[in-house]
Amino acid sequence: MPRVTFNNTVLRDGHQSLAATRMTTAQMLAAAPILDEIGFSGLETWGGATVDSCLRYLNENPFDRLRALKKVAPKTPQIMLLRGQNIVQYTSFPDDVVEAFIRADAAAGQDVFRIFDALNDTRNLITSIRTVRDCGKHARGEICYTTSPVHTIEAFIKMGVELEELGCHSIGIKDMSGIMTPHVAYNLVKELKRKVGLPVTLHTHDTAGLGAAAYLAAIEAGVDAVETSIVPFANGTSQPDTVRMLALLDGNPRRPDYDPALLQQLRVHFEDVYQQLSAFTSPANERIDSDILVFQVPGGMLSNFRNQLAEQGMADKFDEVVREIPVVREALGWIPLVTPTSQIVGTQAMMNIKFGRWKMICQPAQDIALGKYGKAPGPINPEILAMVEKQTGSKAVTGRPADLLAPGLEGYRSQCAAKGLPVDDETAVLFAMFPQQVEALVKGTPAAPPAVAKAPPAPAPTPAAPVSPAHSNGGAVRRMVLTIDGQRHEVGVEKL
C-alpha cells in the first residue's frame, strides 16, 4: 500500500472547533507558506463557518482571504467544506445560486470541495457535484457518519457507490462528532475501498479520544488520507495533532514524511495565535470527554447546550433534555446531528421537556418532518408527521427540495443594485446568505465585533409575545425566537 497522506485543517476546522472560528487572515498568512512547504495533500482553509465568521465578526471579505492564502501557499490544494444546497448557510438555496457560488469560489482559487448534506440525501449534492466538475475542480462527496439503527455499514457503502455514480472524484467520511470507533473505521474503510473505486479520506474529531486510534485503524484498512491539525488548534474537539499522529505511525510503512522542524515552527506560531484568541477558547473544548459516547451528540452541541439551558432557567434539566435527543432523532427519521440538524434536534428536545413531548413543534423540526430538508435516513414517525401536516396544512414533499425553489440569483443581484452594492457573482452570492453583513462590509460600516463574545450562541428558543388567536385545531400559535449559530429566526410554534 502507498503511504497515507495528511490534509491539514488548522486554518478551518482547527480554529472553528477550538476558537469559535475567529482566526483572522492576518494570523494565517505567516503560517500558510510553511504549511505549503510541508507537502500535505491538502489544506482546509475555507467554508464551514469561516465565511459567516469573516463577515459577522472579522470584517473580512472571505473571497479575499482565499485569494491571499492562494498567493502565499500556491502548491498545496486548498479545500473548502460546502453544505451542498445550503452552501454555507442553514437553509436551501436555488440551484442557480449554488452554481454561482461554486463558480465564484473556483475562480478565487478553491481546488477541492468537500460536499455534504446533513441528511445524507444525495439529491441535495447533485448540483454542487456537477458544478464543481464543470469548473474543473475536485468534488469530494462526504458521508456524514452517525450511529442509529438505520446507519449500517451497508447503508454507508450504498451512499459511497451513489457518490461515485454522481461523479465525485473522491469520498470523504465525515465523523463530525468524533464517535467512530477504530473497529468501525476499519470496517467502513475496508468495505468502501472494496466497493468503490475512489480515494477515501477520513475526517474525525478527537472529542472522545477516539480520533487518532480511528485514523490508525483506517490506515491499516487502506484509507488514502486522514485530516490532522496543529497544536494548540488540535486534539479535543478538533482533529488529532499532526506530530502526535506521525509518532503513532512510527515504524509503519505507510507513515508520511513531513519535516519536523517546519512542524515545530508552525506550533510556535499557532501557540501565539491561540493566546491572541483566548477570549474564544475554552478548556471544555480542549479536553477529551467520553460523555459524547454516552449521549451520541457532537461535543460542541453539549457545551452549547449547558449554556443554553442555563439561560432558559433549565440548568437542572440537562440530563433529561439530552436523553430526549434520541427520541427526537428517531421521530425525525434518525437524522444525523450536524449543522443545521443538530441545532434543530437540540431545540426540539428542549421544547419537549419544557412543554411536554410534542406539545410544541418548532418550525424547522416541522420542515424536517415534511421533507423540506430532504429525505431522512429512516422513516418519519407517522403520528408526528400527521400532527405536523394538520398543524401546517401542508403535505410532506417527496421530491428534491431545491426543485421547489425558483431561480434566485438575478433577484439577489437586483437587491444588491438597489442598495448600491456591486452586482458581481461574489457579492450576489454572499448577499444571498448574509445580506446585512455584506452591506456593512462593502459600505465600511461593520457592526463592532462583540468585545468578549464566546462561541456563537446555541439555539435558544425565547418565548416572545403570543401573536395569533386560537388555531383551527384549538391550539394557540406562539412566536418564538430560535437562535442557530448566532442567527435569529422567528418561528411559529403550536400548542396542541
> Least CB distance from residue 151 to Mn ion, whole Å?
18
| 13 vs 60, beta carbon nearer Mn ion | 13
| 83 vs 478, beta carbon nearer Mn ion | 83
> Least CB distance from residue 19 to Mn ion, whole Å?
14
> Least CB distance from residue 110 to Mn ion, whole Å?
18
The DSSP annotation for 206-255 comes to -TTS-HHHHHHHHHHTT-SEEEEB-TTSSSTTSPPBHHHHHHHTTT-TT-
Burial class of 2 by CB neighbour count within 10 A (0 to 12, 13 to 18, 19+): exposed
> Least CB distance from residue 406 to Mn ion, whole Å?
33
| 123 vs 151, beta carbon nearer Mn ion | 151
* Helices and strands, counts by H and E, the chain: 22, 11
φ and ψ of 42, to 5 deg: -170, 155
| 178 vs 408, beta carbon nearer Mn ion | 178
| 13 vs 324, beta carbon nearer Mn ion | 13
| 201 vs 308, beta carbon nearer Mn ion | 201
| 205 vs 269, beta carbon nearer Mn ion | 205
Burial 77-105 (b: 16+ CB within 10 A, else e): ebbbbbbbbbbbbbbbbbbbbbbbbbbbb
> Least CB distance from residue 383 to Mn ion, whole Å?
35
Q: Bridge partners of 232? A: none
Q: Bridge partners of 228? A: 8
Angle, CA of 181, 177 and 397, to the nearest 5°: 115
Residue type at position 263? L
Are 265 and 278 spatial neighbours (Cβ–Cβ below 8 Å)? no
> Least CB distance from residue 448 to Mn ion, whole Å?
30
> Least CB distance from residue 334 to Mn ion, whole Å?
20
Give the HSE-up count for residue 295: Cα atoms under 13 Å, Cβ half-sphere.
27
Helix (H, G, I), strand (E, B) or coil at 113: strand
| 13 vs 99, beta carbon nearer Mn ion | 13
User: Going by C-beta distance under 8 Å and a sequence separation of 6 or more, which residues neighbour residue 424?
Assistant: none
| 175 vs 439, beta carbon nearer Mn ion | 175
> Least CB distance from residue 83 to Mn ion, whole Å?
12
177: which DSSP letter? T
The DSSP annotation for 155-169 comes to HHHHHHHHHHHTT-S
| 13 vs 367, beta carbon nearer Mn ion | 13
Residue type at position 54? C
> Least CB distance from residue 205 to Mn ion, whole Å?
6
Residue type at position 243? V
User: What count of other Cβ atoms lies within 10 Å of the Cβ of residue 194?
Assistant: 11
Residues that bind Mn ion (CB under 5 A): 13
Give the span between the Cα atoms of 37 and 26, in whole angstroms.
Answer: 19
> Least CB distance from residue 203 to Mn ion, whole Å?
6
Q: Which residue's beta carbon is nearest to the bound Mn ion?
A: 13
> Least CB distance from residue 339 to Mn ion, whole Å?
10
Give the span between the Cα atoms of 81 and 87, in whole angstroms.
Answer: 9
| 13 vs 494, beta carbon nearer Mn ion | 13
> Least CB distance from residue 207 to Mn ion, whole Å?
10
User: What count of other Cβ atoms lies within 10 Å of the Cβ of residue 260?
Assistant: 11
CA torsion 57→72→281→320, rounded to 10°?
A: 80
| 13 vs 224, beta carbon nearer Mn ion | 13
